[in-house]
Chains A and B, each alone.
Chain A
Amino acid sequence: MHDTQALFDYTLGLADDSLVLGQRISEWCSHAPFLEEDVALANVALDYIGRARMFFGYAAELDGAGRDEDALAYLRDCRQYRNLLILELPRGDFAFSTARQFLVDAFQLPFLEALCASRDPQLAAIAGKAVKESRYHYRRSRDWILRLGDGTAESHRRLQSALEEIWGYTHEMFRAGAAEQGLVEAGIAPDRIALRSRWDALVTPVLEEATLTRPPDTWSVDGGRDGIHTEHLGHLLAELQFLQRSYPGLQW
């Protein structure tokens, strides 16, 4: 058996993941390299923010403190946010955002497929919707890896350097704390460690085809699930939460 607190924490972590990445992608709105790409990034951001709302809505139902989805999203500070670090890193140049999106999309696909089989009906239902959208996301980011990696000398150089900069943050996607491990045993959460080979199969051949070098696994950083974040999250939350902090309860 699992306890409600573990399920709440887990759901909130997935909600934070979706919101923080959605917010980062949305920063490209009106800054993308060309119009169609601007529209595509806005669409992907919207999918993630929609996903965040479903997870926050469910977390609010489970919350012993009775907070609603807005309170959970707008009124928690950095140390209470549980998102993975890779998702909060600044958007960087287009190569950096593309590298992150590809590595995260390749994780989201097998993760959500596995979550569809969760014994928790609400998590399974959210995953059942999100996984269909992630298939579109993965195709887009894979195509960009091929275009930039096997593109000009400049695009190749930028993408390779982005991969090296971000690689150490990917390992956190495959780690689970004790509480999450309990949910894995209860058939509620997918086993992240077991997803690694699926992720490899979606990542490595694409990097090769794109003439990119897979960076070595020589360093890794984690802490997001424990609320230990990079200095970047505070800036992101400042922008995200400004209205609710300054005008509490504001609605439109």
Chain B
Amino acid sequence: MVSFPIPNPEKMGSDPIYSRIPLVEAELAADRASQSDPALAWLWSLLEQVRDPEIPVLSVRELGVLRALESTASGLRVMITPTWSGCPAMHTIEQDIRAVLEAAGVAPVTVSMRLAPAWTTDWITPGARESLRRYGVAPPAMTSPDAGAADPAPACPQCGSTATRCISEFGSTACKSLWQCRDCSEPFDAFKRL
């Protein structure tokens, strides 16, 4: 039997070994618990209808915007987190969540906005990445420890070629950049990693 040392939270700040172990933040651990809570499963599947207004092939859950549901004595609490700071879709997403829950008779509902931990494209599910690609948008690369590095060239979502060039890091919406394939010549959007 192998025994592991139990982390002492008081020591974690000072002991350098703990700074090298990626720990799940408390909020994310709570999100995961909510996402796998059997009592909430029907609400999670109900909310699967709420799509990103600009990229309707993605649900807000797959996008990582819908973080947690909490059933409390005073009703259902829905926790969402914004993507890009100025993204105008957030308001629509909040309204859509309310409408879907209202239509199913779930009341009262509180929608809360949480800023930290900051949303990252790493939360976009593998299935959603494939949906994006089929929709014609190259999915985001995983974030890099070198935070200042430019996004790596994505494969063309039309022909799959990796010979692509960046036209602009700022595309049709805040979350996308504009690229062109050197092989099939198609211009395409790529989801920026954040």
Give every chain B residue within 8 A of A135 (Cβ-Cβ): 147-148
Give every chain B residue within 8 A of A51 (Cβ-Cβ): 85-86
Q: Which of A43, A53, A125, A130 is most buried by chain B, counting CB atoms within 10 A of its CB?
A: A43
Contact B85 A136 (CB under 8 A): no
A36 to chain B: closest residue by CB = B168
A132 and B118 contact, Cβ closer than 8 Å, known pairs A47-B86, A54-B85, A139-B150: yes
Query: Is B84's CB within 8 Å of the partner chain A?
Result: yes
Contact A50 B84 (CB under 8 A): yes
Contact B118 A125 (CB under 8 A): yes
Give every chain A residue within 8 A of B86 (Cβ-Cβ): 45-51, 53
Bound complex: CA of A48 vs CA of B86, how far in Å?
A: 7
Interface residues on B, range: 20 to 34
In-complex Cβ contact of A125 among B84, B115, B148, B192 (8 A): B115
**How many residues of chain A have a CB within 8 Å of chain B?**
30
A128 and B117 contact, Cβ closer than 8 Å, known pairs A43-B174, A50-B87: yes
Give every chain B residue within 8 A of A43 (Cβ-Cβ): 170-171, 174
Give every chain B residue within 8 A of A128 (Cβ-Cβ): 115-118
Query: Is A140's CB within 8 Å of the partner chain B?
Result: yes
Query: Is B155's CB within 8 Å of the partner chain A?
Result: no
In-complex Cβ contact of B174 among A36, A37, A46 (8 A): A46
Binding site for A on B (CB under 8 A): 82, 84-88, 115-120, 147-148, 150, 167-172, 174, 178, 192, 194
For this complex, 13 residue pairs linking A to B, each with C-beta atoms less than 8 Å apart, are A36-B178, A40-B170, A44-B170, A47-B86, A49-B86, A50-B84, A50-B87, A53-B86, A124-B116, A129-B85, A132-B194, A133-B85, A138-B148
Binding site for B on A (CB under 8 A): 36-37, 39-40, 43-51, 53-54, 121-122, 124-126, 128-130, 132-133, 135-136, 138-140
Closest 4 CB pairs of A and B: A50-B86, A50-B85, A46-B86, A40-B170
